[in-house]
Amino acid sequence: MELQDFFFKLPNLKTEPIIDDTTLRDGIQMPGLATGPKEAAKIAQFLAEVGVERIELFHYQEPDKKAARLIQDLNLNLRVAGWCRALKEDIDSAVACGFKEVGISHPVSDLHFKAKWPEKTREQILANMIDVVEYSAKTCGLKTFVHGEDSTRADWNFEKQFINGAADAGAECYRICDTVGIGLSDIDAPLPNGIPAKVLAVKKETKMGCIEIHAHDDFGNAVENTMAAIKASSGVWDKVYASTTYLGIGERAGNAETEKVLLNLYLHHGVKKFEGKTQRLKATADYIGKATGYIVPPNKAIVGDYGFAHESGIHTHGVLNDPWTYEPYPPELVGNERRLTVGKQSGKGIIKHKITELAGNEPDDQTVAKVVDRIKEIYANGRRASLKEEEFKKILRILKILPENNGH
């Protein structure tokens, strides 16, 4: 079997999807996570290697400023943007850090307006946003994105006015922010939280030149909504940005995972620019986990240690005969590896395979049966975890299948 037997079946997207990774901004806002400037620069290197084309950074505290300088000095094959509030001093900070582009985050829903600025009218709020965007784009000459915070709960008539004001002020891209993850991917879902409807409405009813989606995962739909925005952009927008975080880290339930969106774009939609880069997905996950203090769940899709682990008898039997039976793509495609583990659910096939692998010759049925009985005994006494390699070797030594010095 080959990849093309199962993938690359959908028509090519008639839009260019661009991964805009916010691991070093939204991602590290996740409680308990932090990273230093050198680690941040290394993360940026990994992100460039997997095909991320834009990243955004904080730049308020001195470590953030140092990280921004280190990353820009690397001259990576990606764009680096500073994340700003709608304040001129934030724009000045971005300029001082050497950024050539920024994203200005600003609420667009009445819910946020009333909570944050109860004394201000919509008109006052809009005027301030326009003033700051104009300062960024026209006075400072920065490539400017505007992030519509809580877009999926915003009144469209006002949001449309907001987007047009930003476009007139010089913003070139509008980010639809599904801030609390209530977006709906269904093509028939209406505004404000129908993601395809919002993508199409921004194109049809505003002057904005480009679109972006930033989805949160409160309902577990962040990847689905990100892909829905990309698909809705096909044939409508020349390009669409997908704001994601590696491993989905971020506030509350996190964001759409960079690695998931990227692999979906490559395998299902045939986005060829990711070809040859997916092999770094696992290494990137491992480094980000180590650098930030995030523990990568072992069953995390694509990059988890157990992403290609097999223990049950049916699965291991199938995989030993043909890996395609229980693997959708080769683990090497994403830099992962196949793990055949011995545990409570293991059958004779995997145990025979492991003995052959370690002993160098195929055991007879009686030998296999002895090992199976010993393993059943271990799990009958309350063991839960899979056996580590050394534990399995120890069983083989006790049963005189391996010599005592084997493996040392």
pLDDT in tens, 55-97: 999 999 999 999 999 999 999 999 999 999 999 999 999 999 9
Strands 309-310 and 143-149: unpaired
| Residue 332, both tokens | 């090497």
pLDDT more than 90, % of the chain: 79
pLDDT beyond 70 at 297: yes
Confidence of residue 404 (pLDDT cuts 50, 70, 90): confident
Give the mean pLDDT of 259-276.
98
Confidence of residue 152 (pLDDT cuts 50, 70, 90): very high
Other beta carbons within 10 angstroms of residue 83's beta carbon come to: 23
Confidence of residue 405 (pLDDT cuts 50, 70, 90): low
Confidence of residue 397 (pLDDT cuts 50, 70, 90): very high
Task: Give pTM, 2 decimals.
Answer: 0.93
Taking a C-beta distance cutoff of 8 angstroms, is the pair 242, 263 a contact?
no
| Residue 71, both tokens | 């990353």
Task: Name the residue type at position 52.
Answer: V
Q: Which 8-state DSSP code applies to residue 275?
A: T
Give the mean pLDDT of 157-167.
98
Q: Roughly what angle, to the nearest 10 degrees, separates helices 195-205 and 156-168?
A: 50
pLDDT beyond 90 at 145: yes
pLDDT beyond 60 at 178: yes
Task: Name the residue type at position 184.
Answer: L
Nearest to 133 by CA among 159, 164, 99, 160: 164
Q: For residues 334-344, b (16+ Cβ closer than 10 Å) or e, as one string?
A: bbbeeebbbbb
Q: Which residues lie below 8 Å from residue 222, measured CB to CB, with a gap of 6+?
A: 178, 181, 215, 216, 248, 254, 255, 256, 257
pLDDT beyond 90 at 142: yes
Give the mean pLDDT of 374-398.
88
- Asked if the peptide bond before residue 17 counts as cis, ω within 30 degrees of 0, the response is no
Taking a C-beta distance cutoff of 8 angstroms, is the pair 302, 263 a contact?
yes
Give the mean pLDDT of 38-43.
98
Domains and CATH numbers, the chain: 3-292 (3.20.20.70), 309-398 (4.10.430.20)
pLDDT in tens, 307-365: 998 877 777 778 877 889 899 999 999 999 998 888 888 888 888 888 888 888 899 99
The secondary structure of the chain in percent helix, strand, coil, rounded to multiples of 5, reads 45, 15, 40
Give the mean pLDDT of 251-267.
98
Q: What's phi and psi for 213, nearest 5 deg?
A: -120, 135
Query: Which residue(s) pair with 195 in the sheet?
Result: none
Alpha-carbon gap, residue 240 to 209, rounded angstroms: 10
Alpha-carbon gap, residue 82 to 99, rounded angstroms: 6
3-state secondary structure of 10: coil
| Strand (E) or helix (H) holding 198 | helix 195-205
| Strand (E) or helix (H) holding 288 | helix 281-292
Q: How far is CA 202 from each of CA 156, 183, 187, 209, 211, rounded to the nearest angstrom?
A: 10, 16, 15, 9, 8
pLDDT beyond 80 at 272: yes
Q: What is the pLDDT of residue 402?
A: 85
3-state secondary structure of 342: strand
Alpha-carbon gap, residue 263 to 271, rounded angstroms: 9
